[in-house]
Amino acid sequence: MEFFETVQKRRSIRQFTSQPVEQEKIEQILEAALRAPTARATRSAEIVVVTNREMLQKLANAKPMGAAFIAEAAVAMVVVANTEKSGPAIEDAAIAAFSMQLAAQALGLGSCWSHMRDASYDALISSSDYICQALGIPRHLMIECVIAIGYAAEGKKSYAATELGRDRIHYGQY
Ligand SMILES: Cc1cc2nc3c(=O)[nH]c(=O)nc-3n(C[C@H](O)[C@H](O)[C@H](O)COP(=O)(O)O)c2cc1C
């Protein structure tokens, strides 16, 4: 898919078919993350690829709202911010995450971001700690988000140009 068509067509997809995502596409999506810019070229963002259905269900339970759709995804990219490697590790992770969303779109897949940083599993455990424990990720690393990916089982219209909030753009001065 051509770049601007990719950008125009991308929407958050939370319903997926049971069709698995081909390993080749998974690799292309990961390459998009690895090629993303990172502050001072620290390459701080790390990804855990999850396709195991039980683990996908576990990830879907990482917070009470806004993560359930992960259970139905073919693959979840758990995006890890290594704050020891980089000051702006959160930005590095966010850019890698969105690069993967664009790659998924370009490959004919749907995706949605489930935010984990500063989210809670319950009153005592953060979503980040819960995921670190489930996946054996060292606790000093932080989970930025989970990108759920799969073949779309829902259709969403692209936004019309009039819906984009052009008033957010300021030329020259605010
Ligand atoms: C930083 C960030 C956090 C988000 N967190 C969640 C989330 O936790 N759960 C969810 O269902 N969607 C989440 N989303 C997706 C947004 O809800 C979605 O992008 C927004 O509703 C606009 O819809 P669109 O992506 O189809 O344009 C998140 C998106 C971003 C960029």
Q: Is residue 136 part of a domain?
A: yes
Rounded distance, CA 72 to CA 70, Å? 5
Q: Is 90 exposed, middle or buried (0-12, 13-18, 19+ CB in 10 A)?
A: middle
Q: Is residue 162 part of a domain?
A: no
Confidence grade of residue 74 (pLDDT, cut at 50, 70, 90): very high
Q: How far is the CA of 144 from the centre of ligand 1 (A)?
A: 13
Q: Tell me: pLDDT of 1 over 80.
A: no
Q: How far is the CA of 13 from the centre of ligand 1 (A)?
A: 10
Q: Is 43 exposed, middle or buried (0-12, 13-18, 19+ CB in 10 A)?
A: middle
Confidence grade of residue 150 (pLDDT, cut at 50, 70, 90): very high
The range of the structural domain enclosing residue 40 comes to 13-154
Confidence grade of residue 91 (pLDDT, cut at 50, 70, 90): very high
Ligand 1 pocket test target in 61, 112, 164 with most atoms within 8 Å of CB:
112
pLDDT in tens, 11-28: 999 999 999 999 999 999
Nearest CA to ligand 1 atom 6: 114
Task: Supply the pLDDT for residue 6.
Answer: 97
Q: Is residue 2 part of a domain?
A: no
Q: Is residue 171 part of a domain?
A: no
Does the beta carbon of 114 sit less than 6 angstroms from any atom of ligand 1? Answer: yes
Q: How many domains does the chain have?
A: 1
Ligand 1 pocket test target in 63, 115, 146 with most atoms within 8 Å of CB:
115
Task: Supply the pLDDT for residue 132.
Answer: 98
